[in-house]
Amino acid sequence: MTLFRNRGRGMNIFLYGRVSTTDQDTGLQKQKLQAKYPEGVYREEKKSGTTTAGRGVLQLILDMIHEGDKLVVWKLDRLARNVLDLSKIVQELESKGATIEIIDQAIDTATASGRAFLQMLGVFAEFETNLRKERQLAGIAKAKADGKHLGRKAILSGTQKAEIKEKRAKGTSPTELAKEYGVSRASIYNIK
């Protein structure tokens, strides 16, 4: 099967779905995209959306798209999560005479209002991402200032570690100690 159909002189419609991790599902995106454009060619990938780098399917679509064609995504964040990447994609599509449509937000860059609205949404999406990062960093800084332990809770107490050292020195095997303390053998080996 070829990646894209050649529909002659007509417009080719490229449907793009993306999720960030392999345990996420693109089913809903595919359903929405194919419901609106059953004749479109659907392709998907499971890659982080924080950048367009390493997103081979998207890059292939951008390489293949020509004048009069359309790239369709379900939601803006499936395509780009920052204004710079979004601007690059839109600029590349415009330079080729192609358009983009975002179904969920009813945006189509074939219209002037669609282009303006897309740019505004991109700015707000990046602003929201930056605010989330700032709140996360502020929370971490506050937790550190309050003396809270960040990260995973210690599996063994200092007393337990001392006992394990003694028992290892007397010849108890790491497997036996792991069973006794309910931890992995790696945890036993990591005690110096």
Domain 13-117 CATH (choose: 3.40.50.150, 1.20.1560.10, 3.40.50.1390, 3.40.50.620): 3.40.50.1390
Question: Does 20 participate in catalysis according to the annotation?
Answer: yes
- What does the pLDDT look like over 29-59, one tens digit per residue? 999 999 999 999 999 999 887 778 889 999 9
pLDDT, greater one: 69 or 131? 69
Catalytic site residue from 20, 113, 157, 187:
20
Q: Average pLDDT over the chain, rounded to whole? A: 87
Percent of the chain at pLDDT exceeding 90: 46
DSSP 16-67: EEEESSTTS--HHHHHHHHHH-TTSEEEEEE--SS-STT-HHHHHHHHH--T
Q: For the beta carbon of residue 49, count every other beta carbon within 10 angstroms.
A: 18
The answer to whether 73 and 103 are in contact (CB under 8 A) is yes
Domain boundaries defined on the chain: 13-117, 158-189
User: pLDDT confidence of 115, banded at 50, 70, 90?
Assistant: confident
- What does the pLDDT look like over 126-136, one tens digit per residue? 788 888 899 99
Strands 99-102, 70-73: parallel, antiparallel or unpaired by DSSP? parallel
Residues 155, 126: Cα–Cα separation, whole Å: 39
